[in-house]
Amino acid sequence: MAIDFSPDHVLYQLALVLVAGIIGGEIFGQLRLPKVTGWIATGILIRATTGHHTAITGLTSHSVQDFAPYMSFVLGYIAFTVGAALHFASLRNSGRRLGMLLLGEAVFTPAVVTFLMIFVGRMIAPDEMTMRAGILLAAIAIAGAPGTTILVVQEARARGILTRTLVAAVALIDMVAVGAFAFVSSYLAEGGAGGEAWHSTWSTAVVSVGREFGLAFCVGALSAGIALVLSRTLVSPAFLGPTMVAVILGSWGGASGLNVSGILACTFAGIVVSNLRHDVVRSAEAYLHSIGGVLFAAFYTFAGMNLDFSLVMNAAGLVVLYFLARFLGKYVGAFTAMSLADVPPRVRNYLGLALVPHGGVAVGLILIVQSDPRLSDSAQLVTTVGLAALAINQLVGPSGARFALFKAGEAGKDHPRLLDFLDEHHITVDVSGKSKDDVIRTLSAQLYNTQDRPTIPQDEFVQKVFEREALASTCLSQGLMVPHAILDSGQEITGILGISSEGLDLGAPDGHPVHAVLLLATPESDRNRHLEVLAAFARAITRDINLREQLYHARSAAHAYDVLHAEAAEDINYFLEDAMERHA
């Protein structure tokens, strides 16, 4: 029986790409560089050498096209996951800085890129650089790299205000990029910015953006809605993960059929699922986590094969200019936005660097320019400069993001800590009330608006807190009050911290005004941690005047979080594994 060995089989090629990517990622990991950078570099190397080894591997520079459905699924999964991070109740305290950041991305990045590419770019290549090409490149520059960013965050095991802002922002930034590109491409396609027909109407461009977002939302919301109905009626909990995979496939496929962005559709699907039934998102993430390494290693190796590094030499001056212009726009925009949002300095100084990675959305927008005959006059330059600069960004961007996480002090902070339940959306400043009852009711309402709420009805919880308070005041010394209730059900402690810089007259035994009210809901099974929290807060507030003053006068929930989770606060917010070792 003859053996028909064909290196052209897609599964054989997928195996080769996957193994090569894994090896490249491990090598870069040994060099203390992000594995995603190694995957991308491996893809670039494979593309550069395919001409010499096609007889063995079957790979060519066009092989990536055979894996388009696979690439679309992984990109859709990334978009769904990032959209799921936009759980609105959990972002209650992040709205101002996210809004300022999106405004900065929509204004500073395209403005800086447009100015430098048109005025400086024309000095470098006067015959090639046009205003139309500069505007298109500026819109593409807004896009980030959600998948790369999330992988770097996971690899760095990061947690904190910068990390939270970064993960929430990358999906929104890509949505801004798609909207800006839809507007700009529609405007230019009608003859604007140097075209023959200056009659291009702004209304046409606005309608194009509305259509893109409207249809993408309808597709994503419909897919998510059908899945949620099925999960409540027919689908068992064991199949929630596969059902969410179907949501991703359906959202991307439906969007493609309507000729709108699959990335937007999957992002909207993630947002809808997360905000209507957040526990389902966790099921999907857990389901795909076991094969996440396979998905991402192959995906980013293929992404590297899309990027012809030899393009850098064809337009080296413009490529370097575009890379630097985008970096400058990202950094200045983020720095300005975070300054206006009054975030901690370490977030303000390093967020722009963490936003440098450039990824799949940019590639998709460049391909749209290539395929639109109305933009043919700019297609070659946009493709050459855009892809070459993106190749550089893909190689250095992940390292820059990882460096930012380390410099901000958030890397390696995902280990369980005593006060993990007090993340930013479980902290509120400027709490007010004329009595203990008023304060407790206000904080209870805010606690029940978060994702991690107690397992009993709100009124019942408030009554339990009142009953405990009637037994003995929970006002401790030096402005601290810790009202709480022990619950019969639940797995982990939760709570909310209210801060008043002016102080509340709640009849504390020592006569001091109350500046911090820590409302706790503790299940019976987590009573030991409850006692640890009480002891840690009491020690910190009474012994550390610096921490006390910083916490009592925090300007925002982000600043309060920064105080409690900083290295200087490890005596109060220690790693639980360290405590276990001490008690062993």
- Asked whether the beta carbons of 173 and 142 are under 8 A apart, the reply is yes
Give the burial string for 421-443 (b: 16+ CB within 10 Å, else e). bbbbbbbbbebebeebeebbbbb
Measured between alpha carbons, how far is 197 from 175 in angstroms, rounded to an integer?
Answer: 29
Q: Whose structure tokens read 């190796």?
A: 301
Task: Report the pLDDT value the prediction gives residue 218, as an integer from 0 to 100.
Answer: 94
pLDDT band of residue 567 (cuts 50, 70, 90) is low
* pLDDT exceeds cutoff 90 at 206: no
Listing DSSP states for 519-565 in one string gives EEEEEGGGHHHHHHHHHHHHHHHHH-HHHHHHHHT-SSHHHHHHHHH
Task: Report the pLDDT value the prediction gives residue 580, as an integer from 0 to 100.
Answer: 40
C-alpha to C-alpha distances, 198 to 129, 132, 203, 206, nearest whole angstrom = 20, 13, 14, 17
Task: Report the pLDDT value the prediction gives residue 351, as an integer from 0 to 100.
Answer: 92
Tokens for 377? 């006059």
pLDDT band of residue 556 (cuts 50, 70, 90) is confident
* pLDDT exceeds cutoff 80 at 119: yes
Task: Report the pLDDT value the prediction gives residue 243, as an integer from 0 to 100.
Answer: 85
Instruction: Count CB-CB contacts under 10 A for residue 203.
Output: 8
Average pLDDT over residues 137-141: 92
Task: Report the pLDDT value the prediction gives residue 327, as an integer from 0 to 100.
Answer: 94
Domain parsing of the chain, residue ranges: 68-192+212-407, 424-583
Task: Report the pLDDT value the prediction gives residue 91, as an integer from 0 to 100.
Answer: 66
User: In the 3-class helix/strand/coil scheme, how is 134-149 assigned residue by residue?
Assistant: HHHHHHHHCCCCHHHH
Tokens for 487? 């619950």
- Asked whether the beta carbons of 270 and 247 are under 8 A apart, the reply is no
pLDDT band of residue 468 (cuts 50, 70, 90) is confident
Measured between alpha carbons, how far is 519 from 329 in angstroms, rounded to an integer?
Answer: 43
| Range from 246-255, 258-267, 457-466 carrying the lowest mean pLDDT | 258-267
- Asked whether the beta carbons of 100 and 43 are under 8 A apart, the reply is no
Give the burial string for 497-525 (b: 16+ CB within 10 Å, else e). bbbbeeebebebeeebebbbbbbbbbbee
User: Residues 499-532: pLDDT tens digits?
Assistant: 888 888 888 887 888 888 888 888 887 777 777 7
Average pLDDT over residues 62-87: 78
Geometric angle at alpha carbon 377, from 128 and 130, rounded to 5°: 40
Average pLDDT over residues 132-152: 86
* pLDDT exceeds cutoff 90 at 324: yes
Tokens for 71? 């690439």
Fold observed for domain 68-192+212-407: Na+/H+ antiporter like fold (1.20.1530)
Determine phi and psi for 502, rounding to 5 degrees: -75, -30
What CATH number is given for 424-583 in this structure? Answer: 3.40.930.10
Tokens for 457? 């009805």
